[in-house]
Amino acid sequence: MMKHIKKISFWFLVLFLLILICMPGIWIFVSAFRPNPEILAKPANWIPDRWTIHQFTQMFSINGYVSVPAFKYLMNSVIISSVSTVIAITIGMMGGYAFARFNFKGKNKIFLGLMLARAVPGISLSLPLFILFAKIGIINTSFGVILVYVAMNVPFTIWLTDGFFRQIPKEMSEVARTDGCTRFQAFWNVELPLAGPGIGAAAIFAFLLSWNEYALASIITRTVHSKTLPIGMMDYLDEFTINWAGMCAIAVVMIIPALILTFIVQKHLVSGLTFGGVKG
């Protein structure tokens, strides 16, 4: 009897903590469908008196009027996050494979240097990046934002993929090469498929970091042509007022794709992290 009571108590505690953690997200979602005056009302009301999709129709110009070009910001976020992730994973995968399989001079020092570079807070680089990008003419461009996100993600993906490739026995590659494969063919046909879940996990983390990043993007983007969704939220700040309902609506637009992606690849994400959890 005590065993069942402990089990029920445990799951009630888990449910309580889950609700507590999800409360901010639930509040944002609900507030996206209520008029702005209701958000400012005191005391706060969890259930809106009047549900509305006014903020979404304005964002996506359904009624012919665009308050904030959220669709353009969404496309910018998709393009910048996808391209930067593909480039970072390609470079990081090759780097991780090199660190896992080859011995070369200064290997440990280079690896440590990459990790230290990743440990530098991004916001501390904002001023140097702004000055540099302004001088070479890539400020306020999608290319500039992609370049920054690739630089941020490459050390992290190298670190992750290095652990994944170390878990694959070298003998499998050697057997494939004995059978006539080149090193690249052995990598492509044998090692890469086995490291697939781990590389997928690294790609998800890289994508989400690029999708949610705000600090650096706010410094190097200025116009609709380069702003991403997190930066687009600032369009709801006026001189004397804040459109909280609009900010919540664009936050929902930003959160939903990330949630969908996470749920779709959840199984591969967990297996990938488990696979690379222990270095050989």
In degrees rounded to 5, what are phi and psi of residue 168?
-90, 125
Q: What is the pLDDT of residues 74-99, one digit of tens each?
A: 899 999 999 999 999 999 999 988 88
DSSP bridge pairs for 242: 237
> pTM here?
0.82
108 HSE (CA, 13 A, CB side): 0
d(CA 140, CA 134): 9
pLDDT-derived band at 163 (thresholds 50, 70, 90) equals: confident
Among the residue ranges 39-48, 143-152, 202-211, 220-229, the one predicted with the least confidence is 39-48
Q: What is the pLDDT of residues 185-198, one digit of tens each?
A: 888 888 888 888 78
Distances (CA, A) of 114 to 91, 126, 148, 151, 249: 13, 19, 15, 10, 38
Question: In this predicted structure, what is the pLDDT of residue 273?
Answer: 54
d(CA 232, CA 236): 8
pLDDT of residue 62 exceeding 80, the answer is: no
Give the mean model confidence (pLDDT) for residues 207-213: 91
What the chain holds in terms of domains, given with CATH numbers, is 2-59 (no CATH), 70-275 (1.10.3720.10)
Among the listed residues 204, 220, 217, the one whose alpha carbon sits nearest the alpha carbon of residue 92: 204
d(CA 131, CA 138): 10
d(CA 187, CA 75): 34
Question: In this predicted structure, what is the pLDDT of residue 121?
Answer: 79
pLDDT-derived band at 146 (thresholds 50, 70, 90) equals: very high
Q: How far apart are the first and last CA of the chain?
A: 45
pLDDT of residue 60 exceeding 80, the answer is: no
pLDDT-derived band at 278 (thresholds 50, 70, 90) equals: very low
d(CA 162, CA 115): 12
Q: What is the pLDDT of residues 8-32, one digit of tens each?
A: 888 889 999 988 988 888 888 998 8
pLDDT-derived band at 242 (thresholds 50, 70, 90) equals: confident
pLDDT of residue 111 exceeding 90, the answer is: no
Angle at 230 between CA 242 and CA 57, to 5 degrees: 65
Identify the residue with better confidence: 219 or 121.
219
> What are the helix (H) ranges across the chain?
2-31, 36-40, 54-59, 70-101, 107-119, 126-136, 142-166, 170-178, 183-186, 192-194, 196-212, 215-220, 229-232, 244-264, 266-275
Question: In this predicted structure, what is the pLDDT of residue 106?
Answer: 84
Question: In this predicted structure, what is the pLDDT of residue 279?
Answer: 44
Question: In this predicted structure, what is the pLDDT of residue 188?
Answer: 83
Question: In this predicted structure, what is the pLDDT of residue 13?
Answer: 92
DSSP bridge pairs for 41: none
d(CA 210, CA 203): 11
Question: In this predicted structure, what is the pLDDT of residue 150?
Answer: 94
Question: In this predicted structure, what is the pLDDT of residue 210?
Answer: 92
Q: What percentage of the chain carries pLDDT values higher than 70?
A: 91
Give the mean model confidence (pLDDT) for residues 215-233: 88
Among the residue ranges 105-109, 212-216, 235-239, the one predicted with the least confidence is 235-239
Q: Is the torsion defined by CA of 107, 93, 150, 137 positive or negative? A: positive
Give the mean model confidence (pLDDT) for residues 120-149: 88
Question: In this predicted structure, what is the pLDDT of residue 280?
Answer: 43
